[in-house]
Amino acid sequence: MPSPFPGMDPYLENPALWPDIHSSLIAYIREELQPQVRPKYIARIGERVELTDLGRAYIPDVLVVHPPLSTFGGPVAAGVLVADEPVTIEMLEEERRVPFIEIISREFGDVVTLIEVLSPANKTGAGREQYLHKQRDILYSQVNLVEIDLLGDGRATTLARNAPIAETPYWRYIVSISRGALRGRLEAYPISLRDRLPRCRIPLRPEDEDAVLDLPAVFTRCYDVGGYDLLIDYTQPPPVSLSPADEEWIAALLAAQRNGVKIRENPFHP
């Protein structure tokens, strides 16, 4: 059963669901691009390791337990109170593995294009600072950077979001493209809740034609395979912050679909 939304489903922004949808997006984006870029290029999934703040949201995978130097019940010196030795538990910083897609040259093995699908951690706190640091490093290279942000909440993080332009009201989501050979120009696909997802250009080397990422097809595959229609209660409001206009539109959309009426997509994004 397809999502009731014409494009991105705001219910999937739920932090409990996002890790699963994020992994699926990475896998199916690679699957979509691989036939287009081979044999000159290869799309592959990479992982970088980031350390997380255990005090906020994560439970560590590994604990180091140091036994006490002595057992309880030892002798007590006259007039001196001595504490028993405790067991010491050392909590290690957790490593969070963040997948991304890199398109590499088959001949030389160098990275030509990096595709990032942003997660909540990329848009808040220390995770955002780590991401921006890596983003700046890429800008000093010849690597093309494609940033896919399908999360309405969190701070502006993609290059297009932070560009010095007047932001229009329909930019809830965005795909940002920075070409290594044209750093002075950004390409962006701004997306509202009422838009279908775009079919995006994915740059390779300047002498080669762009690949095309069919985000609507990728999203539909993620939704169908993930069984989200069985996990999401569409009678409840989505667990994200929305404008009053978007809340009203969502309520009308879902009510109409329950009554068997199809709502027309945004006429400005055919």
Confidence of residue 250 (pLDDT cuts 50, 70, 90): very high
Between the alpha carbon of residue 99 and those of residues 15, 30, 206, the distances in Å are 17, 11, 26
pLDDT band at 67 (very low <50, low <70, confident <90, very high): low
Average pLDDT of span 48-74: 51
Decide if 12 contacts 21 (C-beta within 8 A). yes
| Alpha-carbon gap, residue 220 to 55, rounded angstroms | 36
State residue 79's pLDDT score. Answer: 67
Contacts of 168 (CB under 8 A, 6+ apart): 190
Question: Which of 5-9, 16-20, 240-244, 256-260 has the least mean pLDDT?
Answer: 256-260
Phi, psi of 97 (to 5 degrees): -95, 125
What is the distance between the alpha carbons of residues 72 and 267, in angstroms, rounded to a whole number? 75
Q: CB-based contacts of 75: which residues, under 8 Å, 6+ apart?
A: none
Average pLDDT over residues 190-217: 95
Residue with tokens 């199916």: 28
Q: 3-class DSSP state for residue 262?
A: coil
Q: What is the pLDDT of residue 98?
A: 78
- Please give the pLDDT value at position 168: 57
CB 175 within 8 A of CB 191: yes
Predicted local confidence at residue 78, as pLDDT? 62
pLDDT (mean) for 67-80: 60
Q: What is the pLDDT, as a whole number, of residue 87?
A: 74
Q: Which of 72-81, 95-104, 203-212, 240-249 has the lowest mean pLDDT?
A: 72-81
> Helix, strand or coil for residue 249?
helix
pLDDT-derived band at 58 (thresholds 50, 70, 90) equals very low
Q: How many CB atoms lie within 10 A of CB 178?
A: 24
Q: Band of the pLDDT at 268, cuts 50, 70, 90?
A: very low
pLDDT at 267 over 70: no
Mean pLDDT of 136-156: 94
Amino acid at 108: F
The neighbouring-strand residues paired with 186 are 178
**Can you tell me the mean pLDDT for 141-154?**
95
Confidence band, pLDDT 50/70/90 cuts, at residue 127: confident
- Residue 204 CA to residue 207 CA, distance in Å, equals 8
- Ranges of H-type helices in 97-183: 125-139
Inform me whether the pLDDT recorded for 110 exceeds 70: yes
DSSP 31-65: HHHHHHHTTTEEEEEEEEEEE--TTTT---S-EEE
User: Alpha-carbon distance 200 to 40, whole Å?
Assistant: 20
pLDDT at position 50: 61
Domain range summary for the chain, segments of one domain joined by + = 10-54+93-258
Q: Look up tokens 């300047």; give the residue.
A: 206
Higher pLDDT pick, 50 / 210: 210
* Three-state DSSP class for residue 165: coil
Work out the pLDDT band at 218, boundaries 50, 70, 90.
Answer: very high
Q: What is the mean pLDDT of the chain?
A: 84
pLDDT greater than 90 at residue 56: no
Residues 25-34: what's their mean pLDDT? Answer: 97
pLDDT at 265: 45
DSSP E strand boundaries for the chain:
41-51, 63-66, 88-91, 95-105, 111-117, 144-149, 173-178, 186-191, 199-202, 211-214
